[in-house]
Structure 1
Amino acid sequence: MIPTNEQENYELFRDALSSTLLQNMALDTPKERRRAKGRQNNDRSRIALEAKEKTLRSENAEDSLGSSDAEDLAEFIDYLSSEIFPSLPTTLRALSYANIQDDPSLSDTYSVPLTLTDTENLLTTLLPSVSESLSTYALIPNTDSLPNLLAPVLESYITAASTPPPLDRTSAAQATECELCGREHVGLSYHHLIPRSVHAKVLKRGWHKEWELSKVAWLCRACHSFVHKIESNESLAREWFTIERLAEREDVKKWVQWVGRVRWKAR
């Protein structure tokens, strides 16, 4: 079971693993496969192999997997991810841009590209069943190939996990709707989630990091005005500094439900 505080990074890792495995499967060629003797086959491993073989028999990879086969393969990838991710070092599982700002040594510890030694060191506590399963079902040639398979996975995960969050969700030219009420074709304004008037106090009190001060959301003028009416700038900075937190408030929910009905058609 993946802890709640690691769920976001787990999903990043699963996406990285999925991308690598699917690319390898698409480039693979059909060959005779033998299962290891005297070993109970995991159902999800068997399902993945069957889905892979169907992929390889098809001339068109885009049409190779039916919906049930794709679901089976997704289940197997999820299974592998749930076996591999918990075995990674704690600091790697919790890696984030914010953590790197607090502990710059993490940037050196998890710099990419990884060497073979780096990868092997990160996999020292990996369960043997993972490499055996991948090897048995021809996803890797042999158990010694596991670091080569997982190196690009780990590199992709590290890059995704350590990337700084966008300072704003989109540019003015790209913004198409209010991030609270969802209305389109209305004027949008630039709302600093941590109001500029309290930036000095925010840094002095340690409420947020300096790199977080430029986070913004695009709100319609009505929602922008409403947000500043319900809380002071200091309160917005301390408690209501994300669009998700604002959207969870009961008064905001009622406001959004009401103002969201006022819509204009595109001209």
Structure 2
Amino acid sequence: MQPTDKDDENYDAFRECLFSAVVEKLTARTKKIPKKTPIAGKSPRALPEPEGPDPSELAEFSEYLATDIFASLPEQLRKLSYYTLQDDVSLSEKWGLPLTLTVLDELSAHMPGETNDNLIAYGLIEPPKSDIQSFMAPVLSAYIAAVTTPPPKWADTRTSACEICEREWVPMTYHHLIPKQVHAKVLKRNWHEEHQLNRVAWLCRACHSFVHRMASNEELAKEWYTVDLICQREDVQKWAHWVRRVRWKKT
């Protein structure tokens, strides 16, 4: 079953969240570089270049999974939005984050039977160490967060393309260039002025997730607080070159 027209925007968000999770799992298999104490004046070591299936194959696999899984979700979850949560308290209780184990079990039980087999075949889950619930939990949480985020006051800064990979055909998310979790520390240590705290960059979900994997919130605030600085990193340049080759098929 294909998503309906009304679900298209939410489906796009779900597909990106799923794709991001698939990429994160597969790139995590690359050999990790041991952490070392940074040397003054030297840039942090770049993350390894993503390895694994060809991007077009990975996109096709992710879209196949996303189509089947999204169609299996309850209608109220497929059509969830910031406004529907404001109008119905019961929806807030049911789909509020973090999701309960009961809700995750219920959703997983209604997913197509072959989904579990496909996740195992791609090495995305490894029973009994991991299962479909553990893989889908962050995907569903990211999806709910994406579709229920209130309209930002900085909406007029929105770009038509991701500011890292330059893809125009995927949903955009906003990334706080100075993460909100460290605002108090930023002001206390005079890293930035207060008026700079709410600057954002518009990124696709995959690039947004990559940025948060490449550095901690504190490092982002201190060293990678503009898009230009982020894009100077070699690992970001390699990532952007790789991910911009992903092109979703027209449905």
Q: CA contact under 8 A between 1:140 and 1:149: conserved in structure 2?
A: yes
Q: CA contact under 8 A between 2:3 and 2:71: conserved in structure 1?
A: yes
1:62 to 49, 67, 77: 49
The normalised TM-score by structure 1 is 0.49
Residue 218 (structure 2) aligns with:
none
Q: CA contact under 8 A between 1:88 and 1:123: conserved in structure 2?
A: no
Residue 18 (structure 2) aligns with:
17
Secondary structure (helix, strand or coil) at the match of 1:134 reads: helix
Residue 138 (structure 2) aligns with:
152
Q: Cα RMSD over matched residues?
A: 2.7
Instruction: Give the Cα separation in 1 of the matches to 2:50 and 2:153.
Output: 39
Residue 87 (structure 2) aligns with:
102
Instruction: Give the Cα separation in 1 of the matches to 2:105 and 2:69.
Output: 13
Instruction: Give the Cα separation in 2 of the matches to 1:20 and 1:100.
Output: 25
2:56 to 34, 51, 71: 71
Secondary structure (helix, strand or coil) at the match of 1:140 reads: coil
Instruction: Give the Cα separation in 2 of the matches to 1:26 and 1:122.
Output: 27
CA distance 1:124–1:161, change in 2 (3 Å): same
After superposition, the C-alpha distances for 1:2-57 in whole angstroms (9 at most, x for unaligned) are 11100100011111111111111111269xxxxxxxxxxxxxxxxxxxxxxxxxxx
1:134 to 106, 119, 122: 119
Question: What is the one-letter code of the residue matched to 1:24?
Answer: K
Instruction: Give the Cα separation in 2 of the matches to 1:80 and 1:107.
Output: 27
Question: What is the one-letter code of the residue matched to 2:87?
Answer: D
CA distance 1:60–1:167, change in 2 (3 Å): closer
| 1:202-221 map, 5 Å | none
Deviation at residue 150 of structure 1 after TM alignment? 0.2
| 1:1-267 map, 5 Å | 1-28=2-29, 61-62=48-49, 64=51, 69-142=54-127, 145-167=131-153, 169-170=155-156
The normalised TM-score by structure 2 is 0.52
- Which structure has more relative contact order (CA 8 Å, sep 6+)? It is 2
Instruction: Give the Cα separation in 2 of the matches to 1:16 and 1:137.
Output: 17
Deviation at residue 136 of structure 1 after TM alignment? 2.4
Question: What is the one-letter code of the residue matched to 2:133?
Answer: P
Instruction: Give the Cα separation in 2 of the matches to 1:27 and 1:145.
Output: 17
Q: Number of residues paired by the alignment?
A: 143
CA distance 1:87–1:168, change in 2 (3 Å): same
Q: CA contact under 8 A between 2:30 and 2:50: conserved in structure 1?
A: no
After superposition, the C-alpha distances for 1:144-169 in whole angstroms (9 at most, x for unaligned) are 70000000000010111111123462
Secondary structure (helix, strand or coil) at the match of 2:124 reads: coil
> Following TM superposition, where does structure 1 have runs of at least 4 consecutive aligned residues deviating by more than 4 angstroms?
none
Q: CA contact under 8 A between 1:9 and 1:94: conserved in structure 2?
A: yes
Secondary structure (helix, strand or coil) at the match of 1:141 reads: coil
Which has the larger Rg? 1
- Percent identity between matched residues is 37
